[in-house]
Amino acid sequence: MRSQTRTALLFASPWFIGFSLFLAYPVVASLYYSMCDYSVLRPPVWVGMHNFRNLMKDEVFWISLKNTAIYAGMALPLGMATAIALALLLNTKVRGMTIYRTIFFLPSLVPTIPLAVLWLWVFNGEHGILNEVLRRVGLPAPNWLSDTAWSKPALALMALWGAGNAMVIYLAGLQDVPTEMYEAAELDGAGWWARTRNVTLPFLSPVILFNGIMGIIGTLQVFAEPYVMFPGGSPARSTYFYTMYLFDNAFIYHKMGYACAMGWIMFLIILVLTLVALRVSEKHVHYQGG
Amino acid sequence: MARSTDQRRQRHQWLVHLVLLVLSAAFLFPLVWLVSTALKPIEETMRQPPTIIPSSFQWHNFRDAFVYGSDKLGYIPFLVYGRNTLLLCILGVAGVVVSNSLVAYAFARLKWPGRDILFAATLATMMIPFPVLMVPIYGFWRSLGWIGTFKPLWVPAWFGNAFSIFLLRQFFRTIPFELSEAARIDGCSEWGIFRQVVLPLAKPALAVVALFHFMYTWRDFLGPLIYLMDQRTFTLSLGLQFYQSQHGGTQWHLLMAASTIVVAPVIVLFFFTQRQFIQGIAVTGIKG
Amino acid sequence: MGHNHGAMARSLLTPLAVVVLVLAAWYSEMVVRVPEPPGPVVVTYWEKWTSFEGDAMRAVVDAFNRKQNKVFVKLLTISGIENKTLMAVAGGNPPDVAGLYGPNVAQYADDRAVLPLDDFCAEYGISAAQYIPCYWDIGVYRGRVYSLPTTPASTALHYNRTMLREAGLDPDRPPRTIEELDAYADKIFQRGDRGRIVRAGFMPAEPGWWNWGWGCIFGGKLWDGKTKITANAPENVRAFEWIQSYSRKYGATDLQTFRSGFGNFSSPQNAFLSSQVAMELQGVWMHNFITMYAPGLDWGASPFPHPSDRPDLANSTFVDEDVLVIPRGARHPKEAFAFIAFVQSQEGMELLCMGQRKHSPLVKVSDRFWKTHPNPYVRLFADLAYSPNAIAPPKLPLWPEYGAELNNAFDQIALLKKSPKEALDAVQERMQPKLDDYIRVARLRGDEP
């Protein structure tokens, strides 16, 4: 047994180093910096809880948090529903599935910069393709990019194109659903929807939970697209998200301490949300074999 | 009875195809537009409203994107960027596969004190936002004098990461323990069991980890942005922004042509590996 | 046999992989290493410019490299230069010279990210008297020189003579006061079918680069230079009321829709170049874009109007410049300054400013420069730079944040979400504590006040 422990520690040793250097140390260090005035270039000056107190009073902090929450509230359910729907569609046995799967995964492979430019043109209020279509079918065509009420929904819609990543994981989860269950359900005369509801989704629920938590982490940290498309979170800070404010504080305003404090608050928020998600899901997630 | 089910199934198939085709059009749109802009003359790239099919196909845009800036720098940046990205991919992917398989083996198939606590901590770290870590890690590389080198971008891969450890651990646990026991009775060392019993069976999972890391490195923008200083060392994703300029005059057509070249290999890679990719994730059972 | 073969191949595979990896690691180190060639000292110089602006700087660098053989300047184009330079200084691996933006100087000097240049300037005989005052001043922070200019820019009202004529206005008599500007704007303004705006005389939000600064046009100050933020000074509120009057008379949503139809700044669909907006505040560079995208445009430039009750504010202009700095930790500061000094010489500066088609920041300008300069209004821009009402962004380390606040306030009042007073009070309330904090920490650090 002793020798196994030694062997095990040897096997795990890369992670001891990786964990302490790239996770434990920076986490502790950033907690320290969050209580300092620190610009990277000059030695940190201890200010205690000052950064956290200032954050509580900081209107922009709250705006960015609210924007992020609203965005996540739209993008997360929408994105999950889309990814699940796509995975269900792609799990049917029709020809050419390899090609379809690749196509749906494609947008998540395109680099951010060209993609963001494309969205600027798609969502353009005057000449955008989306509004062209909306006008044709007689729906209102809002100023997606310059109207404070529509800029966040525009971003949530854009995020749908990146559903490919989650879709792949759902697809993988669907491979595990035993075919006998389907056949049994079909013999019982259950239709497609009933089968999906009663067989597929319960089996998929652990994967849904996994993707849900990953989705919370991802949507709360939304950064690249709005940063490229909406400089400064325009119009009127309606697209100014948490990570953008954090980034601006760190690299534009040179307030690393303040940024670290924001990072820590985000960490706590994600932690709480994850625990809530785990608790809520307890009743709804079905693990195979208990 | 059987025939009508067949017919229904056929009709059903057509319906699925129709839906898939419509959705495909929507999902293909960014790529089509990317390629179409890559083929436009520069004046046309800024036209409002934009055209989908270029008025004339400028195939030389691809060549121009390749040599853009080479007259000023004395070398062809695009090939240099590609070489750098490949180097990082090779070093990183190898590191991820080697380190995570070792660590995951310790977590999945060996017993040692503190194992489960460390594993829980490992999972929890997946929730730490990157910006929290960014500043101290940067300081760490600086103290080693490694800013401006490739090392901050591939060395960490050799020390494991939470996501890959999680994935591989789940997979290693599905391999019957009796196999290990039998080998142990035959006098096989733990290293031997790892090499000869577990690793050969874990190929699909290792492929997934490798692929994920390959795609991550290929697309990574923030890492190269903060660690690389000299143009000679830039990667493809970082190099793309050179076609943009702040005072206007962005070379849209070249930017898109370059993006197309960057995306193409990854698309091909995914196309040929997607079955294994999906199967690989499936058997690892993220489901716990 | 085949089995044996496979086993042998497999046993060879691992060493082979190790060799490949070692080679890759070694190669990746070789790529990074920049060999120091024997001979001249190599000065690395990061600059943000591309296209013709970059070519102009390259010509200056080439001229310097040809002229002497002790220093060789290696010019690299870097995007996002201000962040990149900061990170390079923090990483201990900065270039020898960096081309930043003027408004960065205070922040970088305050962070000790750039070296003071006073001693070098004295050595090379470079002094304030040789420069147009406002352009020298941009590089000075707390009494020390931290940067020297590359190319400067001042702004003026650009107007479309054809559009003025079509509205029955005299194209040779551009508006001189804000009130005249408003009257002109109303005359030019046109709506098309369904009430959509098709043409505007003037829009404060276009091009939107000085949204923070309209208060200064009305005589406002943004801070007292020491400890007080003055965002909600009466002059600033008055300016914002003027801006909001445009949203009120033309409709905030209608203006928004109109604006969303404009193309990129650098394109023929630019609002001014495509004759959608007749009058715009623009800088000396605008001429380049006119020749590039709308060569037929009949245009003129004149000092931006002032409020009629404040004739003392005539010739207000926003001044800005690109600058050269030596980052802290640079390996060859002396050689770097030799290059900077060359750029500051009349020869180097005129080569650069002619190449970028701007005016020179130096007092002494050759006849040839004036005679051959393509911009017909270049003298106007140079003269405006001498104006006592030349406005530069405040030299406040907090400026990036303060500027973002003002831009946001501008958005809010232009969209009629807040009254000008409310919006500016909010900026004031937000920025004053930040300045107080900054001063407090500076004292803790022992910086001179």
CATH of the domain spanning C41-146+320-386 = 3.40.190.10
Q: Which residue has the higher pLDDT, C45 or A275?
A: C45
Which residue intervals of chain C bear CATH 3.40.190.10?
41-146+320-386, 155-316+393-442
Task: Tell me how crowded residue A189 is: count the other CB atoms within 10 A of its CB.
Answer: 7
CA dist., res. A189 & res. B64, Å (int): 61
Positions in chain B short of pLDDT 50: 1-2, 246-247, 285-288
* Residues linked to residue A45 through DSSP beta bridges, in sequence order: A37
Using CA atoms of C377, C382, C386, C389 in order, give the dihedral in degrees to the nearest 10: 50
CA distance A204 to chain B (A): 8
Q: Does B91 touch chain C (CB under 8 A)?
A: yes
Report the percentage of chain A scoring pLDDT > 70.
97
Nearest to C215 by CA among C416, C394, C418, C381: C394
> What is the pLDDT at residue C318?
96
Domain extent for B117: 74-284
Interface check B104 vs C, CB under 8 A: no
Is residue B275 in a domain? yes
Q: Give C251-285 pLDDT, tens digit per residue.
A: 998 998 888 888 778 778 889 999 999 999 999 99
Question: Which candidate, C96, C79, C46, C75, places its Cα nearest to that of B72?
Answer: C75
pLDDT at B263: 84
Q: What single-letter amino acid sits at C172?
A: D
**Range with the poorest average pLDDT among B48-52, B243-247, C146-150, C435-439:** B243-247
Closest CA relative to residue B134, chosen from B118, B117, B119, B156: B156
Checking if the pLDDT of C145 tops 60, the result is yes
Which two three-digit tokens encode residue C81?
């230069």
State how far the Cα of A206 lies from the Cα of B281, in Å rounded to an integer. Answer: 14
Q: What is the mean pLDDT of chain C?
A: 91
Q: Give the rounded distance of the alpha carbon of B49 from its chain centre.
A: 34
Determine the Cα–Cα distance for residues C418 and C403; give it in Å rounded to an integer: 18
Closest residue in A to B263 (Cα) is A110
Pairing of strands C144-145, C140-141: antiparallel
Residue C413 predicted with pLDDT over 90: yes
Nearest to B102 among A14, A117, A260 (CB): A14
Per-residue pLDDT for A96 more than 90?
no
**Alpha carbons within 13 A on the beta-carbon side of B122:** 26
Q: Which of C297, C293, C240 is nearest to C416 (CA)?
A: C240
- Looking at per-residue confidence, does B204 or A45 come out higher? A45
**How far is residue C203's CA from residue B87's CA, in Å, rounded to a whole number?**
52
Q: Which of A101-110, A138-147, C399-408 has the highest mean pLDDT?
A: C399-408
What is the spatial distance between Cα C330 and Cα C49, in angstroms, rounded to a whole number?
A: 21
At A230, the pLDDT band (50, 70, 90 cuts) reads: confident
CB A242 within 8 A of CB A266: yes
Residue in chain C closest to A249 (alpha carbons) equals: C401
Whether B37 maps to a domain, the answer reads: no
Lowest mean per-residue pLDDT among A61-65, A123-127, C117-121, C255-259: A123-127
Tell me phi and psi for residue A142, to 5 degrees.
Answer: -75, 165
Beta-carbon count within 10 A of B149 CB: 23
- C18 and B95 Cβ atoms separated by less than 8 Å: no
C-alpha–C-alpha distance, residues C340 and C64, integer Å:
10
Band (pLDDT 50/70/90 cuts) for residue C345 is very high
- Cα dist from C415 to A79, A148, B56, C353, whole Å: 31, 9, 42, 39
CA distance A148 to chain C (A): 9
CB of C323 closer than 8 Å to CB of C138: yes
B138 to chain A, closest Cα gap in Å? 9
Nearest of B171, B195, B173 to residue B183 by alpha carbon: B195
Out of A39, A45, A145, the one facing C111 most closely (by C-beta) is: A39
Mean pLDDT of A120-126: 80
Q: Strand C148-160 vs strand C317-325: parallel, antiparallel, or unpaired?
A: antiparallel
**What is the predicted pLDDT for the residue at C1?**
41
Q: Give domain A39-93+164-281's CATH superfamily.
A: MetI-like (1.10.3720.10)
SS3 at position A91: coil
Residue C365, SS3? Answer: coil
Find chains touching chain C: ≥3 CB pairs under 8 Å: A, B
Beta bridge partners of C229: C223
Residue B56 placed within a domain: no
Q: Are B90 and C24 in contact (CB under 8 A)?
A: yes
- A109·B219 Cβ contact <8 A: yes
Rounded distance, CA A264 to CA A26, Å? 12
Residue A176 CA to residue B282 CA, distance in Å, equals 7
Is residue B206 situated within a structural domain? yes
Q: Give me the interface pTM, i.e. the ipTM.
A: 0.80
Q: Please name the member of C83, C261, C404 whose beta carbon is closest to the beta carbon of A251.
A: C83
Q: For residue B223, count CB atoms less than 10 angstroms from its CB and return exposed for 0-12, middle for 13-18, buried for 19 or more.
A: buried
With respect to residue B107, please indicate whether it lies within any of the assigned structural domains: yes
Residue B168 · residue B100 · CB < 8 Å:
yes
Q: Which residues of A touch C253 (CB under 8 A)?
A: 143, 147
pLDDT given at position C127: 96
CA distance C90 to A42: 9
- Across the range C26-36, mean pLDDT stands at 76
**Using the 8-state DSSP alphabet, how is residue A108 labeled?**
G
Output the 3-class SS for B53-121: CCCCCCCHHHHHHHHCCHHHHCCCHHHHHHHHHHHHHHHHHHHHHHHHHHHHHHHHHCCCCCHHHHHHH
Q: Which two tokens mark A203?
A: 């089996």
Res C6: pLDDT: 59
3-state secondary structure of A222: coil
CB contact under 8 A, A41 and C417: no
Residue of B12, B130, B132, B173 to mutate, interface with A, max A Cβ within 10 Å: B132
Give the Cα separation of C258 and C260 in Å (integer): 6
Cβ neighbours of residue B184 closer than 8 Å, sequence gap 6 or more? B193
User: For residues C105-118, b (16+ Cβ closer than 10 Å) or e, as one string?
Assistant: bbbbbbbebbbbbe
B243–chain A nearest CA distance, Å: 11
Structural domains of chain B, count: 1
Which among C115, C244, C260, C276 is the top mutation candidate for probing chain A, defined by the most A β-carbons within 10 Å of its own β-carbon? C260
Q: List the 32-71 stretch of A: residues with Cβ below 8 A of B.
A: 33, 40
b/e for B96-111, b at 16 or more Cβ within 10 A? Answer: bbbbbbbbbbbbbbbe
Structure tokens at C341: 């000094």
Cβ–Cβ of B91/C25 closer than 8 Å? yes
Peptide bond into C15 cis (omega under 30): no
**Burial of residue C53 (number of CB atoms within 10 Å: 0-12, 13-18, 19+):** buried
**Model pLDDT, residue B3:** 53
Residue A281 has pLDDT above 90, yes or no: no
The arithmetic mean of pLDDT across residues A29-38, rounded, is: 91
Q: Does B87 touch chain C (CB under 8 A)?
A: yes
Q: Across residues A239-255, what is the average pLDDT?
A: 89
| Domain boundary assignment for chain A | 39-93+164-281
- Span C323-332, pLDDT tens digits: 999 999 999 9
pLDDT given at position A207: 79
Tokens of A98: 């390899």
Closest alpha carbon to A39 in C402, B142, C94, C86: C86
At the topology level, CATH places domain C155-316+393-442 in: D-Maltodextrin-Binding Protein; domain 2 (3.40.190)
User: What's the confidence (pLDDT) of residue B282?
Assistant: 64
Q: Report yes or no: C220 and C235 within 8 Å, Cβ to Cβ.
A: yes
**Burial label, A191 (beta-carbon count in 10 A; 0-12, 13-18, 19+):** exposed
Mean pLDDT, rounded, for C292-312: 95
Find the distance separating the first CA and the last CA of chain A, reported in whole Å. 30
